[in-house]
Structure 1
């Protein structure tokens, strides 16, 4: 069975949008640090992939890579998938209750209507209009990094949508070392979509690849706030190493049980 290797792509979205580059604003991690991966937590990750072979030199199984992009300084990815929609519904219900209380308030107690309306606007927050150009967030309200709905004025700190990997290409793909594709999943953390690739582990060497990553920037257009897509790229590497398939407990080759230690 192929081994599943995970690569976390952590992006400082705010800085990346300001600098218009992912260089220096992307931090890569994988779960192969103890097996030879280098550059953990930097933009120079080299993912170690151990080729799995039988003693006769034939390939035992290919390896599988999974890329998971996250945003630094945003709402944690561990919250349920419908969190933003639920927060929007809660604030709508709260705003309706406040409006009802304001309407039913006696006339002699309604002198500060402007303050009440301002509070109502804060409760409602700011809704972002969706566009056809973006593959990221749908129509939702703007949240801060703590998950609270905010009335955005263009300067307040807000939570960015997670980065979206739109393509994986480059040397490793051109040389048919790995075969990437986007898959759907009911996983609540990956929001239903993730990129995965099988890797031909019979060809040792170091190969580069490029990820096309789409970020989203809040932009005021025609009086409406929208998420403007910004497409950037990020490079990384894989290093395929050759070694025979071994028993994980005794470290010896495969054969009939019991297998003596090597």
Structure 2
């Protein structure tokens, strides 16, 4: 089962809270999950059953965090690097053109150079805390265009990163979370997952520690500074059997419409 954690990163950083800026979804709506698309999601877990009808011991959850109002995560893995390389190539071509025109007609070189400088965008400073995918990248806006240093108000925020899952459900040994490596590059190769003990019905709260990144100027250089916030959600475990998502029927064969003899085509 998957839980989507969608964060309005810009507002969350401006208000220093995830409250009112986080929207949760899961794929258990037809099974009884409550408050889909809000910050008050309660994920329904009906448990797993063995073939003899006895309740099995676990279910699996995955958490996937995304940023609202940023470059979508469905773009190719090397999108940011490709856009940065493209802006460099365009700037070099325009520099060659400017050199030719300046020597021939005495063009306004200073004005043209400033325009080209804006077009090349701003490359972020690499630090130990921001090493990895964001290191040395250029700033993009939500449409994927390179942004100059004086236009960073419209920049795209990096996706949130879940750094820990803890709280009542973990302390009570209802779920056992861990971070796993993954070939799914949308999640940058890492994601949080948990096995859930379904043999103990009840509603259990849990906390997520979420790291956002704020664009900050330090000693004249732009950097992504980490901002750590927390958010709570809940699991509702019941002993009800799982139902078919298409027909809402219980365990058993799918219902097949019966046509009496002589009435079919």
Deviation at 1:58, TM superposition (A): 3.4
d(CA) in 1 for partners of 2:231 and 2:55?
31
8 Å Cα contact 2:7/2:18 also seen in 1: yes
d(CA) in 2 for partners of 1:168 and 1:142?
30
Deviation at 1:245, TM superposition (A): 6.6
Q: Which residues of 2 match residues 205-216 of structure 1 at below 5 A? A: 205-216=202-213
For the pair 1:181 / 2:178, whether they are aligned, the reply is yes
- Secondary structure (helix, strand or coil) at the match of 2:94 reads helix
- Report the structure, 1 or 2, having the larger strand content: 1
Quote the residue 1:148 is aligned against. 145
Deviates further, 180-189 or 206-215? 180-189
Of residues 87, 106, 112 in structure 2, which corresponds to 1:110?
A: 106
Q: Which residues of 2 match residues 60-79 of structure 1 at below 5 A? A: 60=56, 62-79=58-75
Q: Which residues of 2 match residues 10-159 of structure 1 at below 5 A? A: 10-54=6-50, 58-60=54-56, 62-134=58-130, 137-153=134-150, 156-159=153-156
| CA pair 123-205 structure 1, distance change in 2 beyond 3 A | same
TM-score by length of 2: 0.88
Deviation at 1:54, TM superposition (A): 3.7
| CA pair 250-70 structure 1, distance change in 2 beyond 3 A | closer
Quote the residue 1:228 is aligned against. 225
TM-score by length of 1: 0.89
> Number of residues paired by the alignment?
254
Deviation at 1:137, TM superposition (A): 2.1
d(CA) in 2 for partners of 1:129 and 1:207?
42
- Please list the CA deviations of residues 134-178 of structure 1 after superposition, one character each: whole Å capped at 9, or x if unmatched: 367222000001000010216531100000000101111111111
d(CA) in 2 for partners of 1:83 and 1:92?
14
- Secondary structure (helix, strand or coil) at the match of 2:233 reads strand
- Secondary structure (helix, strand or coil) at the match of 1:60 reads coil
Q: CA RMSD in A?
A: 2.4
- Secondary structure (helix, strand or coil) at the match of 2:30 reads helix
- Secondary structure (helix, strand or coil) at the match of 1:146 reads coil
Deviates further, 147-156 or 34-43? 147-156
d(CA) in 1 for partners of 2:197 and 2:129?
35
Structure 2 portions without partners, runs of 5+: 256-265
Quote the residue 2:258 is aligned against. none
d(CA) in 2 for partners of 1:112 and 1:193?
50
8 Å Cα contact 2:4/2:24 also seen in 1: yes
